[in-house]
Structure 1
Amino acid sequence: MILFRYLSREVFTAMAIIAFVVFVIASGSRLSRYLSDAATGALSGELIGWLLLYRLPGFLELILPVSFFLAIMLAHARLHVDNELQVLNSAGFGEGRLIRLTLVQSLFVMLLTSLIVFWLRPAAELGIQEVKASQKSMTEFDLLIPGRFQVLNSGSRVTFVQSLSEDQLLENIFMTERAVNDLSEDAKVVTMVAASGEARLDASGDRFLVLQDGRRYRSVSGGKAHQVIVFEEFGQRLQRDQYDIESAEVRERSLGALLQAPDRAAWAEIQWRLSLVLMIPILVLLAVPLGRVEPRDGRFSRVAPGVLLCFLYLVLLSGARSAVTEGRFPVMPGLFSVHLGFLILAVILLNAGEKSLNWFKTKRKR
């Protein structure tokens, strides 16, 4: 029991550090994308926090197995480097018992991953759909940022507003839009400048941006036509936002709903969720032989090959998932064929001696 607590502390401490680093990198990349979209007005800044929160289970379902795999490699490699495993072997504690203890540790990670993939992530996907609906309900007026040029209306319109008062009154507005003439297919550019503007609802419930005290310039490429209109009020219908938030309907279904809809996409999703749990004990069996390092090699000598092997595992699972969904691979064995292949590889590595694993070593500079 003392040894189990010692190994568990080593493994889970390393796992927490690795998971935190990977999560910061992954969420930072996603956050930078959302901030960039919010800066251009394509995404409401109020939704960024909710999007990151709902993306969290999707990050963790992949981060937990990978970080646990790397933590086992590093913890076991330290036992080899510090010659602690040799002492344990002399006391009758062989690699078989070490594997059993590590598999017991994996039960906690499997339980946590199961909670995420079968409950938290489907609930989070529903949350993403709600955020998506909220974003779709917004108009260009809701996304305007004073003092900044913004590309709106799917990239065809550039808008600038100098200020926005507390009562939602716009001041000093500039808008230019490039469209296509339906008859001549010539490029048409419409530019409007106005002293002020505000959003209004008509009788049908549509929102309009009403510009006041301004001019409308209409021109066609090649100088074929040019028109200037001076107006006191000019109304323009506000389009609903077209920003696309990545989501998939099949991911938001519960396990029961997936079992009641036995189509290929549903079966692929079921197998994917099961795979993220089943891969954990297989990764344990892979990590133990990869953790066999010589003291002079250092505990990090096989981290790079281990990362590549884990990455290959996930890529093959993802590819098999797509193949099952698209009908290019049978539902059975489906994703389980990938697990079988890596299980066979793990058994081979476990039965291989230290010399047979030399090709996993990272060459050191001399």
Structure 2
Amino acid sequence: MILIKYIMKEICKNQLIILILLLLACFCQKSIKVLSLSNNIPIYWIFLYLFLSIPDLGKLIIPFSLFLSVLISCYRLHMHNEILAMYSCAVNKYVLIQSICMYSTVIAILSLINLAYLAPHCEQYKENIFFKMKKNTYFIELIEKKFYLLFDEHLVLFIDNIKNGMLNHVFILKRVQNIDKNVFSIITADQGSIHYNFNDKSQLIILQSGMYYEIHNTQLLCIPRFVTYFNQYRTLVHDKYQFLRDVNKSVKHMNINQLLISSELESYIELNWRLTLFISVFIMPMIALFVMMNIAYGYLSNFLLAVVLYVFFYMLHIMLYTCSVLNYMNIIILMWIINCIYLIILLLMNVWESFRFKCLRIIFIYLLKK
């Protein structure tokens, strides 16, 4: 029992170091993404966004950090001759297997809570925070002679001149919704302004003294057709409620209970992806252990082989998870084929050492008889 605690302590210590380093690297990437929006974002929004990103990052980082910690721990035990000392004291490999299984069970429980409930809820809140940051940065520093792509890429805004808070010589191109997706409207105005509606949390652009055109891109020649003059024109540029409705429809924000009762094929893929992440907490550390113990090419080559197996496993799953060409049911079947292949690899590695010794024993007996 003391030996098991010692091995688990080594793995835990290495995993914490790896986990912190990976999180810091991911935080740098997330910070660049957020700061690229504007320099006027409140600092507490940035820290809140990074904090809410931890559960989503943990879905991949936790299995990877556990995998690397097992590899590093096995390498360290080998370099200090501790594995040789265990074998000399009649301690077999099953003590290592038992230690990693017990530790993986603890990590798997934490990972399951994160995958099932924590990450989906935090991802939804994080998207809302990111939306607020984007909404606040669009019109804090309006730049002249720049095209703004707004309202989920359905509206293009161009301002020729800004003076005393007023927009002069404004051009808008927007898709006409709820009528025909092939109809676009062009609005030009001499002046305009941006207004924020505190009741429904939306933003409006109000134009004065302009002209309204329409373009039907189904025609052979897309020539703007004049419709009318106007004294005042209002158009929505941000609708927070519509955004929240779209966000809530994402399967990434559904907890495990919602995925189980959902009848959409996209939900089945998300469910199987989370199950794959969960079982990888058990499969990949054990593969790392058996690769380091059983394949006698040297620890450095074994280390590289284990990393290649891990990268290949997740590359295949990520490609399937993000693939939109295959049928949904085919994606699920291929996911579990890959899981079964790696499970077979794990079982073969488990019996490889005893099988190798049996083969050597049979060959030795055969040579003695001759």
Q: Same fold (TM over 0.5)?
A: yes
Q: Could you give the per-residue CA deviations for residues 212-243 of structure 1, whole angstroms, max 9, x where no partner exists? A: 9xx999xxxxxxxxxxxxxxx98764522699
Judge conservation of contact 2:5–2:99 (CA < 8 Å) in 1: no
Q: 1:68 to 1:207 in 2, by over 3 A?
A: closer
Cα distance in 1 between the residues matched to 2:271 and 2:202: 42
Q: Which amino acid aligns with 1:102?
A: I
1:167 counterpart residue number = none
* Aligned 1:288-303 pairs, distance under 5 A: 288-292=289-293, 302-303=302-303
Residue 300 of structure 1 and its aligned partner are, at CA, apart by 5.4
Q: Could you give the per-residue CA deviations for residues 169-197 of structure 1, whole angstroms, max 9, x where no partner exists? A: x54756653759x9xx9xx8968689xx6
Residue 119 of structure 1 and its aligned partner are, at CA, apart by 1.3
Judge conservation of contact 2:161–2:168 (CA < 8 Å) in 1: yes
Q: Does 1:55 align with 2:53?
A: yes
Q: Which amino acid aligns with 1:275?
A: T
Residue 268 of structure 1 and its aligned partner are, at CA, apart by 2.3
Q: 1:94 to 1:341 in 2, by over 3 A?
A: same
* Aligned 1:135-154 pairs, distance under 5 A: 138=135, 143-146=138-141, 148=143, 151-153=148-150, 154=153
2:21 counterpart residue number = 21
Identity fraction in percent: 17
* Aligned 1:183-198 pairs, distance under 5 A: none
Unaligned runs of 5+ in 1: 164-169, 218-232, 357-366
Judge conservation of contact 2:120–2:252 (CA < 8 Å) in 1: yes
Cα distance in 1 between the residues matched to 2:137 and 2:4: 57
Q: 1:158 to 1:33 in 2, by over 3 A?
A: farther
Q: How many residue pairs were aligned?
A: 323
Residue 10 of structure 1 and its aligned partner are, at CA, apart by 1.4
Cα distance in 2 between the residues matched to 1:45 and 1:234: 38
2:223 counterpart residue number = none
Cα distance in 2 between the residues matched to 1:205 and 1:250: 25
Residue 303 of structure 1 and its aligned partner are, at CA, apart by 4.1
Cα distance in 2 between the residues matched to 1:274 and 1:205: 38
Judge conservation of contact 1:191–1:216 (CA < 8 Å) in 2: yes
3-state DSSP of counterpart to 1:240: strand
Unaligned runs of 5+ in 2: 177-182, 212-230, 357-370
Higher RCO (CA 8 Å, separation ≥ 6 residues): 1
Judge conservation of contact 1:55–1:124 (CA < 8 Å) in 2: yes
Q: Does 1:39 align with 2:38?
A: yes
1:276 counterpart residue number = 277
Q: Which amino acid aligns with 2:63?
A: P
3-state DSSP of counterpart to 1:13: helix
1:199 to 195, 202, 221: 195
Residue 349 of structure 1 and its aligned partner are, at CA, apart by 3.0
Q: 1:175 to 1:44 in 2, by over 3 A?
A: farther
Judge conservation of contact 1:160–1:174 (CA < 8 Å) in 2: yes
Cα distance in 2 between the residues matched to 1:238 and 1:251: 28
Judge conservation of contact 1:152–1:158 (CA < 8 Å) in 2: no
Q: 1:296 to 1:306 in 2, by over 3 A?
A: closer
1:250 counterpart residue number = 251
Whichever structure has more helix as a proportion of its residues is 2
* Aligned 1:265-344 pairs, distance under 5 A: 265-292=266-293, 302-321=302-321, 326-329=327-330, 335-344=335-344
Cα distance in 2 between the residues matched to 1:161 and 1:276: 52
Cα distance in 2 between the residues matched to 1:118 and 1:33: 27
Cα distance in 2 between the residues matched to 1:192 and 1:72: 67
Residue 39 of structure 1 and its aligned partner are, at CA, apart by 2.3
Q: Which amino acid aligns with 1:15?
A: Q
2:123 to 118, 122, 125: 125
Q: Which amino acid aligns with 1:144?
A: F
Cα distance in 2 between the residues matched to 1:271 and 1:296: 35
Q: 1:198 to 1:107 in 2, by over 3 A?
A: closer
Cα distance in 1 between the residues matched to 2:93 and 2:265: 41
Judge conservation of contact 1:258–1:270 (CA < 8 Å) in 2: yes
Residue 58 of structure 1 and its aligned partner are, at CA, apart by 1.4
Judge conservation of contact 1:35–1:45 (CA < 8 Å) in 2: no
Q: Does 1:107 align with 2:105?
A: yes
Residue 147 of structure 1 and its aligned partner are, at CA, apart by 7.3
Q: Could you give the per-residue CA deviations for residues 58-99 of structure 1, whole angstroms, max 9, x where no partner exists? A: 110110011101100110111112211011001011112211
3-state DSSP of counterpart to 1:146: coil
1:222 counterpart residue number = none
Report the TM-score when normalising by structure 2. Answer: 0.68
